[in-house]
Amino acid sequence: MSGARAWWEEVERLDVACYAAIASTPTPRLDRAMSRLSRAADYSKLNLTAAAGLALFGGAEGRRAAVAGIASIAVTATVVNVAVKPLARRRRPDRLLHEVPIARHVPMPSSQSFPSGHSAAAFAFAGGAGSVLPAVSLPLHALAGVVAYSRVHTGVHYPLDAIAGSLLGAALSPAVPYGLHRTKKNS
């Protein structure tokens, strides 16, 4: 077995062990909150609500931040769902095998597990909106971190899926506001 393959197998064992530890830790009060938050993040509903708030109450900067955040989601979702997920082809976790409590369950997506699209979208929105309106960066990034964790807590992703999605969203988001700014300057 090659060194890289052995290394990856160890990382995967740690990833599954972390998932199993989270699944087996009783957190009845947290369960309801995490499943609600995870469902609120479906289809970027949480981000779109935040964008509406920014656009309505943030003035011209808020509207620019909302546009940058939504554009960052669009770019990131396309990269994640069209390019990365089909290449990675990682199966979703088996919630029954790991005895994830039913109270945590949200609908199990049919797409591949790696990377987490919810995590990517949450961090993309936070990065895009936050780069235009720095005052919202910290709260949006904190919310994105909780959304990413909620995907593991509800049993639909392994921790590494959420981490990779978060990193992808954070990495791709700066390009969008920059591109929007450049387009505006050239028009």
Q: What tens digit of pLDDT does each residue of 89-108 get? A: 899 999 999 999 999 999 99
* CA dist., res. 122 & res. 101, Å (int): 25
Predicted pLDDT at 119: 98
The answer to whether the CB of 91 falls within 8 A of the CB of 112 is yes
Tens digits of per-residue pLDDT, 107-158? Answer: 999 999 999 999 999 999 999 999 999 999 999 999 999 999 999 999 999 9
- When divided into structural domains, the chain yields a total of 1
* CA dist., res. 129 & res. 55, Å (int): 11
CATH number for the domain that contains residue 43 = 1.20.144
Model confidence at 178, in pLDDT bands (50, 70, 90)? low
Mean pLDDT for the chain overall: 93
The whole domain housing 103 covers 3-186
- Between residues 62 and 177, which one has the greater pLDDT? 62
What is the pTM for the complete model shown? 0.91
Predicted pLDDT at 60: 95
